[in-house]
Amino acid sequence: MKSNIWKITWSVTVWEFNRFFKWMDLVKGALLFAGFAVVGGVIGAWASGQAIQPPKVAVADFGPFNPDRFEDSFIQFQDGTVFSPDSLESLYQEEAIDGILTISDVNEASIRVNSDRVWILQLEQILNSVRVDYKLELFDLDPVLFDELTAGMTLAKDFETGEVSTLPDKILAGVAIFLLVMAVFMGFAYQFTAITSEKQQRITEQVLSAISPQTWIDGKILGITGVGLAYVAFYSVIGLLGMVVFIYLGVPLQETIALVNPLFLITFLMLALIGTLMWNAFLAGIAATIDDPNTSTKSGFMMMPLLPVSLAFLTLANPDTVAMKILGLFPITSYAVMPARMVLTGVAWWEPVVALILIAMTAWLFRILAGRIFAAGMMMYGKEPDWKQMLRWMAKGTETGQTDSGNQPNA
């Protein structure tokens, strides 16, 4: 009997997956994306080639500084003192020069330019460097001694609670959370489309006469979760191909990738996978109670997966507080808080294990509750059930849900 149930569940899963996941549309989208990338790369290379041209700045007055100090820099300084003010103005108006620099004294200078430019920041750094050299000579200070006095102190980090995580680990945690939220949102959209449309078209009774509500909702949860994960996997592959291109162009990303902790990678992926199933089960139950998604107030539940992500930012202040430790284990928030804790501090070996077990149990519980809500909610039309009725359905199953007043089954 169980083998037959699994077979039917798998059939529903495959049907729901094929219903929304279209390979050709994905390939066409990828080709379109690649075309935009190529066109954007060509245009970007052409535009950046013009943007990185060294700016030409005429110095109308060097002030107390020696003109030789303004050589050997990205900015092409020109001695504007050899020109009359009218000639210098003509060069500026004809765009033969990009700006006119006037140095009043050792502490003040001004630049005349058409509009704000990125290289002005570099100009400020050059002027500050020239000023420091001038002051060193003025006060007869040893440059080596000055560098020694202004050098910063190196702080070695020795964490007693665990090893120091690398920057790739932190990036990996952020990517895992982002992909999970992306998969959940996609699953939410597809579930609302599937479940509410089936309810509005009144085809539920025909399906429930052939399979049980729990088997049907299981197939929907697995199939639509598979759609979300398939799209996430596709875009992840696109990202990996982009990294390969950067490595081919000489960017040493392979050295950075080698720093990723394999244990972190496995843990983050498992939390993301089970977390996606958990939220899709929850949102499937919510969708079953909605008659019209355009007017329902329950559609705001799609924002709930973002709440744990916002709580994860609190780990930046102190990841070792009691609150953060609890949120790292609590199944509703663990998929976001636990990865953040793992890359910011040391966690005991059992904490990720307990977090995975709890989130898996919660996903299974949400699956059961979603099945009960689905069994009652899909057969009710008219007024949407309130929370009291939904809690009765979750506690006692379909029978109570079908006898609640205000939501009569379709004749």
The 10s digit of each residue's pLDDT in 350-392 is: 999 999 999 999 999 999 988 888 877 666 655 666 667 777 7
* N-term to C-term CA, the chain: 31
Regarding whether 377 and 333 lie in a shared domain, the answer is yes
Which residues of the chain fall below pLDDT 50? 162, 398-411
In a domain, 267, yes or no: yes
Given a contact cutoff of 8 angstroms between Cβ atoms, the answer to whether 359 and 274 are in contact is yes
Distance in angstroms (rounded) separating the CA atoms of residues 129 and 133: 6
At 407 the pLDDT is: 42
Cα-flanking dihedrals φ and ψ of residue 111, to 5°?
-125, 130
Regarding whether 77 and 194 lie in a shared domain, the answer is no
Regarding whether 392 and 301 lie in a shared domain, the answer is yes
Regarding whether 170 and 249 lie in a shared domain, the answer is yes
In a domain, 223, yes or no: yes
CA atoms within 13 A on the CB side of 405: 0
pTM: 0.65
Regarding whether 184 and 86 lie in a shared domain, the answer is no
Regarding whether 169 and 143 lie in a shared domain, the answer is no
DSSP string, 59-82: EEE-TTS-GGGG-SSSSEEEEGGG
| Predicted confidence (pLDDT) per residue in 8-50, tens digit | 888 888 888 888 777 777 777 778 877 877 787 777 677 666 5
Distance in angstroms (rounded) separating the CA atoms of residues 190 and 25: 16
In a domain, 29, yes or no: no
Regarding whether 190 and 129 lie in a shared domain, the answer is no
| Cα angle 257-262-266, degrees, rounded to a multiple of 5 | 120
> What residues pair up with 112 in beta bridges, in sequence order?
100
Regarding whether 266 and 301 lie in a shared domain, the answer is yes
Final residue in a domain of this structure, among 147, 173, 195: 147
In a domain, 363, yes or no: yes
Regarding whether 118 and 187 lie in a shared domain, the answer is no
Q: How many domains does the chain have?
A: 2
In a domain, 227, yes or no: yes
In a domain, 20, yes or no: no
Distance in angstroms (rounded) separating the CA atoms of residues 83 and 86: 8
Cα-flanking dihedrals φ and ψ of residue 103, to 5°?
-100, 115
At 66 the pLDDT is: 87
Regarding whether 196 and 128 lie in a shared domain, the answer is no
Q: Identify residue 135 by its one-letter amino acid code.
A: K
Range of the domain at 190: 165-403
For residues 78-115, one letter each, b for 16 or more C-beta atoms within 10 angstroms of the residue's C-beta and e for the rest, the string is bebeebeeeebeebbeeeebbbbbbbeeeeebebbbee
Given a contact cutoff of 8 angstroms between Cβ atoms, the answer to whether 379 and 202 are in contact is no
Regarding whether 384 and 244 lie in a shared domain, the answer is yes
Final residue in a domain of this structure, among 119, 147, 175: 147
| Predicted confidence (pLDDT) per residue in 209-219, tens digit | 667 778 888 88
Regarding whether 141 and 232 lie in a shared domain, the answer is no
